[in-house]
């Protein structure tokens, strides 16, 4: 073919592309093959024993060669009957497993029931139902692998007749795929309800929401959906990718009478008001924890708790669940209660400390609005998903202000010391 005329040049380009396509396809295939060679299969089976209030966990490993060399996790008196193929060693505080090169099975039994400070259970299983975190049954593990190796993890429940399981991994069929972004070894996490469970599902502002709880426990599934329909659109406007899915697990006695968050899920006691008389919301407080995914460094729990409480009021106001006047009154009451907090920086935030923190965040939002075209909303994406302390919070705010924020000056933070 003559490749020097204009028409021929176009034709020759087409021929060259056709010749290159098989090579490109081979390159993609080779890359995919290499990725598959570095994948190993991990399958968890959770089998509740309601009469014993225990869950048996089986980890089944399959791998083409010795990709996963060693797996270890901390144990306590709640974990017993540890068995496994290959080399297994157990001590009072650690299980270390070196599986056979082709894979093997590791299993253990977990006593689920756990009282929280003698004031109700934060993990519970009886003959009728159970509510607990998957982390309670599957401790966070450390792995030693061939460089670049990653797990393909699945999970299933082996349940008594008539029981079902609802978790953040809502799936119609088992096994359930487990994929935790950014991790090379994926483990199931989040709240789960097992037993005769009632559930309501809805997609709200792009988030796949499930409200679940044992039958006969007075769980207000539709009320929670209504509140989330008012407020989740406001949350996703601030943090568009924060909540692709949300599972709310609820139950009554003998569960702890509060709220607790976990990855993509939360627990709320069935008797807790969805909107309190002080115009805050325990449900929205925990939703903010899930959406922000913050961990407090050192003595800065007030940042994590204060943001969650401040935005529980803000989301109610923006969603028109409460009026602007009531929101202002709520902030004034927080300021009054916060006067009882003599120290802001402590390992765990108290009610007074959290109220003081709410006042600080209200002042910080006002400062941002007065001096810039930004607000506290614009700080959230800069810190979400990480560990937070005063330096992190101040640094993110300073990016917007151009100078250190007055609201976070050390003189306004009782009991806190200036960081380096």
pLDDT tens-digit readout, 403-418: 999 999 998 898 888 6
Other C-beta atoms within 10 Å of 6: how many?
A: 7
Residue 14 CA to residue 26 CA, distance in Å, equals 19
Average pLDDT over residues 336-359: 93
Average pLDDT over residues 150-179: 90
pLDDT tens-digit readout, 15-46: 434 444 444 444 444 544 555 789 999 999 99
Residue 66 CA to residue 102 CA, distance in Å, equals 6
Those residues whose C-beta lies under 8 Å from the C-beta of residue 351, and which sit 6 or more positions away, are: 337
Residue 290 CA to residue 235 CA, distance in Å, equals 11
| Contact by Cβ (8 Å): 104, 61 | yes
Average pLDDT over residues 57-82: 95
Please report the pLDDT score of residue 172 as a whole number: 61
Please report the pLDDT score of residue 419 as a whole number: 60
The answer to whether the peptide bond before residue 324 is cis (omega within 30 degrees of 0) is no
Which of 24-38, 61-75, 342-356 comes out lowest in average pLDDT?
24-38
Average pLDDT over residues 49-64: 97
Those residues whose C-beta lies under 8 Å from the C-beta of residue 202, and which sit 6 or more positions away, are: 209, 225, 229
**pLDDT class for 169, splitting at 50, 70, 90?**
confident
pLDDT tens-digit readout, 227-237: 999 999 999 99
> Which domains are delineated in the chain?
39-272 (2.60.40.3650), 291-412 (no CATH)
Residue 97 CA to residue 87 CA, distance in Å, equals 6
Q: What angle do CA 305, 308, 314 make, to 5 degrees?
A: 140
- HSE-up of residue 187 (Cα within 13 Å, Cβ side): 18
| Contact by Cβ (8 Å): 289, 255 | no
- pTM greater than 0.85: yes
SS (H, E, C) the chain: CCCCCHHHHHHHHHHHHHHHHHHHHHHHHHHHHHHHHCEEEEEEEEEEECCCCEEEEEEEEECCCCCEEEEEEECCCCEEEEEECCEEEECCCEEEEECCCCEEEEEEEEECCEECCCCCEEEEECCCEEEEEHHHHCCCCEEEECCCCEEEEEEEECCCCCCEEEECCCCCCCCEEECCCCCCCCCCCCEEEEECEEEEEEEECCEEEEEEEECCCCCCHHHHHHHHHHHHHHHHHHCCCCCCEEEEEEECCCECCCEEEECCEEEEECCCCCCCCCCCCHHHHHHHHHHHCCEECCCEHHHHHHHHHHHHHHHHHHCCCCCHHHHHHHHHHHHHHHCCCCCCCECCCCHHHHHHHHHHHHHHHHHHHHHCCCCHHHCHHHHCCCEECHHHHHHHHHHHHCCCCHHHCHHHCCCCCCCC
Q: What is the mean pLDDT of the chain?
A: 91
**pLDDT class for 183, splitting at 50, 70, 90?**
confident
Distance from the first to the final alpha carbon of the chain: 72
Residue 144 structure tokens = 């030693």
Residue 53 structure tokens = 């209030």
pLDDT tens-digit readout, 114-138: 999 888 999 999 999 999 999 999 9
- HSE-up of residue 38 (Cα within 13 Å, Cβ side): 13
Q: Could you give the C-alpha distances from 335 to 328, 330, 342, 407, in angstroms and in order?
A: 11, 9, 13, 14
Residue 156 CA to residue 42 CA, distance in Å, equals 11
């Amino acid at each position: 073919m003559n490749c020097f005329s204009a028409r021929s040049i176009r034709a020759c380009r087409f021929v060259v592309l056709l010749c290159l396509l098989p090579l490109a396809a081979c390159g993609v295939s080779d890359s995919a093959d290499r990725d598959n060679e570095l994948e190993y299969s991990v399958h968890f089976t959770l089998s509740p024993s309601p009469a014993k209030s225990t869950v048996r966990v089986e980890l089944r490993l399959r791998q083409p060669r010795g990709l996963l060399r060693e797996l270890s996790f901390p144990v306590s008196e709640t974990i017993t009957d540890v068995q496994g193929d290959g080399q297994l060693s157990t001590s009072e505080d650690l299980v270390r497993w070196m599986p056979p090169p082709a894979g093997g099975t590791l299993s253990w039994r977990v006593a689920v029931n756990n009282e929280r400070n003698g004031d109700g259970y934060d993990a519970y299983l009886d003959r009728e139902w159970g509510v607990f975190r998957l982390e309670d049954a599957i401790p966070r593990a450390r792995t030693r692998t061939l460089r670049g190796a990653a797990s393909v993890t699945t999970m299933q429940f082996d349940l008594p007749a008539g029981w079902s399981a609802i978790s953040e991994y809502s799936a119609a069929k088992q096994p359930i795929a487990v994929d935790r972004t950014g991790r090379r070894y994926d483990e199931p996490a989040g709240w789960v309800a097992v037993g005769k469970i009632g559930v309501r599902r809805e997609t709200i502002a792009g988030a796949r929401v499930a409200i679940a709880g044992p039958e006969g426990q007075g769980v207000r599934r539709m009320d929670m959906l209504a509140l989330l329909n008012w407020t989740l659109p406001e949350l996703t406007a601030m943090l568009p990718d924060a909540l692709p899915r949300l599972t709310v697990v609820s139950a009554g006695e003998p569960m702890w009478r509060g709220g607790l968050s976990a990855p993509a899920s939360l627990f709320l006691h069935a008797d807790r008001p969805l909107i309190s008389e002080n115009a805050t919301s325990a449900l929205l407080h925990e939703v903010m924890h899930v959406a922000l995914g913050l961990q407090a460094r050192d003595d800065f729990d007030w940042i994590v708790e204060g943001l969650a409480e401040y935005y529980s009021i803000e989301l109610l106001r923006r969603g028109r669940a409460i009026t602007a006047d009531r929101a202002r009154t709520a902030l004034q009451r927080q300021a009054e209660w916060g006067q009882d907090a003599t120290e802001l920086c402590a390992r765990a935030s108290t009610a007074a400390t959290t109220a003081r923190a709410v006042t600080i965040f209200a002042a910080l939002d006002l400062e941002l609005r007065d001096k810039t075209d930004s607000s506290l909303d614009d700080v959230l994406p800069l810190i979400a998903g990480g560990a937070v302390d005063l330096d992190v919070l101040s640094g993110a705010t300073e990016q917007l202000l151009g100078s250190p924020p007055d609201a976070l000056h050390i003189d306004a933070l009782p009991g806190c010391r200036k960081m380096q």
